[in-house]
């Protein structure tokens, strides 16, 4: 009886917070890294992403003092980037672009001490240096990429006067640090990526650090936020699935079929959660169709020297599914290295090399094959739904050439078509290739 009263009146144990649950999952993944080569690549993805996934970047407060002025420069130029109404006069736009670039160059020259930058980055790049943790590198990458994109376009929405440029000389203050970032993170592009512009561009409260809609309305700000936040939150939902597909690969290799099947079933349920979150939040309130293309998509482009810019296709969830399920064609190593950090590529390549569907066919277990096909079906349905939804966002913008951020300019050689039609046709062409591979 005494024990019964003790139980009734004892304080209830508090449930772990969402943050505690995340940390527990991170620790599990890192601890399991020694069990299998795919698990090792997933653990590496965590440790090279600020000890978190989605990545955890830290910003100006975590940087050495010599680098902090870059944050000052971006915050000072941010309000000058967006305009409410775009000019259709190329000469006016050229003057505006030149004015913005001159402002950025002047602020960089005023704030940045190049000898201090070189010395600091050399010290931070040493193998045993503790001056700059990986999370700080990711935040600095986001800041510098934002500055380079701001200098590249000069005005937002982007205009054809800038799109028509094939080459551009950047200020030394933006060029000198860039190779250090490329080596540390493992990318080759001269511009930003989905990682730098979305994953690494949110603070601990998941608010944007380097905004491109400063001073604009609430709809602009919300659309910009969800343009990155949606990718980040979907990765939140997908990480448990990543762990389970790594474990399923290990179980199948060891011919533990019952564990393989149950683990793949769990992974399929977790994938449903991630896709549902995507569709629930990709709506006209979070992402205003009339604002997304001019105030979000355009800034992510690059189009200099034949190099493309940021694409939603650089998100890791869909590439993980393609890689795990053997959905080809895969990007070449050269193309993927432009925008995907090395740890992300290592994770994807480990799945591609393992090729679980081919191994399942070889071993001949029908239940394993069936669970993998369920995942293929989910991916096919997502692609079909994504194609339909994205068509709403391909709006006509008279101040610019037809462009997707991830595939540069859209060419329509044979007939004259509207901007809307060209963009929709281009989108269908890109997605239909992947749809065919999942059939």
Farthest CA pair distance, the chain:
88
| Cβ atoms within 10 Å of 384's Cβ, excluding its own | 14
3-state secondary structure of 82: strand
CB 157 within 8 A of CB 294: yes
Residues at the annotated binding site?
A: 386
Q: Which two tokens stand for residue 227?
A: 């343009």
H or E, element range at 408: strand 408-409
Q: Calculate helix-pair angle for 18-31, 218-253, nearest 10 degrees.
A: 40
Contact 230, 98 (CB under 8 A): no
Q: Is 202 helix (H, G, I), strand (E, B) or coil?
A: strand
User: In angstroms, rounded to a whole number, what is the distance separating the alpha carbons of residues 132 and 235?
Assistant: 25
Residue found by looking up tokens 């917070």 in the block: 17
Euclidean distance between CA atoms 342 and 338, whole angstroms: 10
Residue 249 to residue 254: CA distance in whole angstroms: 9
Angstrom distance (rounded) from CA 40 to CA 346: 10
Question: Would you give the DSSP letter of residue 141?
Answer: H
Can you tell me the distance from the alpha carbon of 368 to that of 361, in angstroms, rounded to the nearest whole number? 9
Considering Cα of 224, then 229, then 231, then 234, what sign does the dihedral take?
negative
> Number of helices and strands (H, E) in the chain?
20, 2
Helix (H, G, I), strand (E, B) or coil at 403: strand
Token pair in block for residue 307: 């190099």
Q: Please compute, for residue 74, the number of CA atoms within 13 A of its CA located in the half-sphere on the CB side.
A: 26
**Separation CA 323–CA 326 (nearest Å):** 5
CA distance 151 to 102: 9
Angle at 392 between CA 391 and CA 393, to 5 degrees: 90
**Preceding peptide of 371 cis, ω within 30°:** no
Binding site listing for heme b: 386
């Amino acid at each position: 009886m005494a024990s019964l009263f003790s139980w009734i009146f004892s304080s209830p144990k508090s449930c772990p917070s969402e943050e505690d649950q995340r940390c527990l999952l991170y620790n599990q993944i890192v601890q399991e890294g020694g069990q299998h080569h795919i698990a090792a690549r997933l653990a590496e993805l965590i440790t090279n992403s600020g000890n978190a996934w989605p990545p955890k970047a830290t910003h100006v407060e975590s940087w050495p003092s010599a680098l902090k002025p870059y944050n000052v420069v971006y915050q000072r130029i941010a309000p000058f980037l967006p305009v409410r109404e775009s000019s259709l006069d190329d000469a006016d736009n050229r003057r505006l672009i030149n004015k913005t670039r001159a402002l950025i160059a002047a602020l960089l020259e005023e704030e940045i001490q190049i000898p201090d930058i070189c010395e600091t980055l050399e010290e931070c790049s040493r193998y045993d240096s503790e001056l700059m943790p990986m999370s700080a590198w990711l935040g600095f990458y986001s800041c510098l990429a934002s500055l380079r994109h701001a200098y590249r376009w000069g005005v937002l929405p982007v205009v054809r006067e800038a799109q028509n440029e094939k080459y551009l000389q950047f200020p030394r203050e933006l060029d000198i640090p860039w190779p250090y970032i490329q080596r540390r993170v493992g990318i080759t592009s001269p511009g930003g990526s989905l990682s730098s512009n979305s994953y690494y561009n949110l603070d601990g409260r998941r608010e944007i650090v380097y905004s491109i809609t400063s001073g604009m309305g609430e709809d602009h700000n919300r659309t910009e936020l969800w343009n990155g936040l949606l990718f980040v939150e979907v990765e939140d939902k997908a990480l448990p699935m990543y762990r389970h597909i790594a474990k399923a690969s290990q179980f199948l290799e060891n011919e533990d079929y019952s564990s393989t099947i149950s683990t793949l079933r769990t992974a399929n349920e977790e994938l449903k959660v991630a896709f549902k979150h995507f569709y629930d939040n990709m709506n006209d309130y979070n992402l205003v169709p009339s604002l997304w293309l001019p105030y979000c998509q355009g800034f992510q482009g690059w189009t200099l020297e034949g190099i493309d810019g940021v694409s939603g296709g650089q998100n890791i969830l869909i590439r993980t599914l393609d890689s795990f399920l053997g959905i080809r064609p895969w990007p070449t190593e050269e193309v993927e290295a432009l925008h995907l950090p090395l740890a992300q590529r290592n994770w994807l390549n480990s799945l591609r090399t393992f090729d679980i569907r081919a191994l399942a066919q070889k071993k001949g277990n029908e239940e394993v094959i069936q669970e993998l096909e369920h995942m293929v079906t989910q991916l096919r349905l997502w692609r079909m739904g994504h194609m339909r939804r994205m068509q709403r966002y391909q709006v006509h913008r008279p101040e610019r050439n037809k462009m997707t951020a991830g595939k540069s300019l859209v060419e329509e050689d044979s007939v004259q078509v509207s901007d809307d039609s060209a963009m929709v046709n281009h989108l269908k062409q890109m997605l239909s290739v992947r749809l065919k591979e999942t059939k």
